[in-house]
A and B are shown apart, each in its own frame.
Chain A
């Protein structure tokens, strides 16, 4: 089940135009009922992948080549090596979730995929081109990132913060087009923060704030979106709210990659799961196939049973009793 195929990297024109969102059905658990607003989502789906590579690739059914690939990645901070010789491929149009115990290199991998961390060896390839060779702004129009630590400038309003997501689409003489205005409005509507537009970000609750940051990433209008622990520090209702939002984004045609702590959340929402341990991939594939008691024991050193989630039928990890 560990698919670790090397993609044939070469000018593979990628499929681009997102299919319109077909009546988003948010799972009944949406917390404040804010995560829906599906109609707006379909409009925010970027029309073009990258910058003019709008070639209508053969609409592969399931066999699309992955757009974002890491080959032989060695990741290190200063002298400390986190991972060596890691091969990952993010399937196109997937909701890929990276899980693993603390300090296994999840976030590091995501940072490398987002070009924030330069790999010590190996390359990250996006749409057939080395990610380091992409111009910064062009990359930012293709690959969006919600970092773990972002700082809301003091006193900034929600609308202003979301508007900053338009930066890669702007220029010195093109500072605020009608398009920018429309996308910002849609992004806020899609994340359910439109009502908060003129509020200061500092005043919001954790869940609201996280949705604002996601709205900013959304306003970037990227076909790929990387999220580093989007649910950390949120209570359970807000976690589900944010994850539902991510699922909506995925269904509207985006490729979403997220680092999550909660294995059950990962199993419920992911279409593709990557389990890391000690900087190597322990398992990879659809959650229904990958999440097993053996895997959890191997990756998290946790004895457990895996049962079927009564709500969704996805695997549900239940830690073993103390005896």
Chain B
């Protein structure tokens, strides 16, 4: 039974077979449960506290009408947005890290978050726009950055080193441009823009996260089911993957597009929340202890991280709510330093 000691296999008499890693499924399931449990806790907390059983009852449609209003109209959309943003960032981060073969290669390092931010700042500063301009700016900015990076890196260069370097350069340029746009803004707009740049879940409703949920529902299966195995082959280098019959350029283009879209829609919903895309795949892979992109566990881990960060953000300073991006930024920054110090010996960073 070589090669299958860590795998579960289901075979049908018709010659069909499915292979899966039980440990990865357990990790993914565990993270999902944790995310949902934290979500319930989060829904139950606030100025009008509710016990977790009450929350669950209300969510199932059997709660008191007053509870129902608070839960379904105010708090559930926020938690739902958090879950979706976390999952999208985790998935996008896992794809990027796998494609560039570096644990730091997440969309916030490679210019895509900055691109989304540029779009939003342009929307806020130049058009003085509201919610729709912000969301559209985020998606448009992210996508344009994706096209730019792909064009500069070149069709054959969209991997590893070249993609990283181009991404870093574009990120630096866009950071400068964002700073400039910020100086052009009125101070009230600037404050709003900085809040958005940090990443916040305040007052999010289904209208904010709707597009993201659609994107997740469409792109998630595409990535997980159809590209997952090819992505695993790509980790061995282009030549090896090519030798195994992976149409590398097509697969990579699909994956890049999906990751950029996921990151951009997540940014549209909650702003460029820092470091979830970086740390979720890393934490997930530490738990699954298997090589490979670990896409599903990373997505679930991202959701759990995001909800946990929002919980901390609301509770850390009583009477003072922080934007969720501050929490992920601080935690992620610490994690990054730890990663830099410990992982450098292996030469992977």
Contact = CB atoms under 8 A, between A and B. Distances in A.
A and B touch in the complex (CB under 8 A): yes
Interface string A162-178: 11110110101111111
A8 interface: no
Contacts of B233: 164, 167
B235 A198 contact: no
A167 B245 contact: yes
A153 B236 contact: yes
B239 A150 contact: yes
Interface stretch (B105-113, B205-213, B287-295): B287-295
A137 interface: yes
Nearest to B346: A154
A275 interface: no
Contacts of B235: 151, 153
A220 interface: yes
A103 interface: no
Interface stretch (B16-24, B48-56, B163-171, B322-330): B16-24
Contacts of A194: 2
B236 A152 contact: yes
B2 A170 contact: no
Contact of B246 (A136, A151, A175): A136
Interface string A106-136: 0000010011100000000000000000001
A175 B19 contact: yes
Nearest to B292: A153
Nearest to A197: B2
B244 A164 contact: yes
B2 A159 contact: yes
Contacts of A175: 9, 17-19, 229
A28 B20 CA distance: 43
A181 B19 CA distance: 12
A161 B232 CA distance: 10
B342 interface: no
A168 B244 CA distance: 6
Interface stretch (A64-72, A93-101, A141-149, A250-258): A141-149
A160 interface: yes
A152 B101 CA distance: 11
Residue from the set B2, B15, B229, B348 with the largest chain A CB neighbour count within 10 Å: B2
A46 B74 CA distance: 63
Interface string B158-182: 0000000000000000000000000
Given A154-B291, A167-B229, A173-B16, A159 B243 contact: no
A115 B244 CA distance: 12
B188 interface: no
A316 interface: no
Contacts of B6: 157, 160
A159 B226 contact: no
A151 B236 contact: yes
B237 A174 contact: no
Chain A interface size, as a band, is 35 or more
A217 interface: yes
Interface in B1-21: 1-7, 9, 11, 15-19
B243 A181 contact: no
A155 B243 contact: no
Contact of B3 (A168, A174, A181): A181
Given A150-B236, A181-B4, A194-B2, A172 B226 contact: yes
User: Which interface residue of A114, A115, A143, A174 has the most chain B CB atoms within 10 A?
Assistant: A174
A146 B237 CA distance: 11
A150 B241 CA distance: 9
A204 interface: no
Given A164-B244, A173-B16, A159 B3 contact: yes
B237 A164 contact: no
B244 A140 contact: yes
A139 B244 contact: no
Interface string B290-322: 111000000000000000000000000000000
Interface of B: 1-7, 9, 11, 15-19, 101, 225-226, 229, 232-233, 235-240, 242-247, 289-292, 346, 348
- Nearest first, the 9 A-B pairs at minimum CB distance are A140-B245, A147-B239, A145-B243, A156-B291, A176-B19, A159-B3, A153-B291, A137-B245, A168-B245
Given A174-B15, A217-B243, 8 more contacts: A116-B242, A145-B239, A149-B239, A150-B239, A170-B229, A173-B16, A174-B16, A194-B2
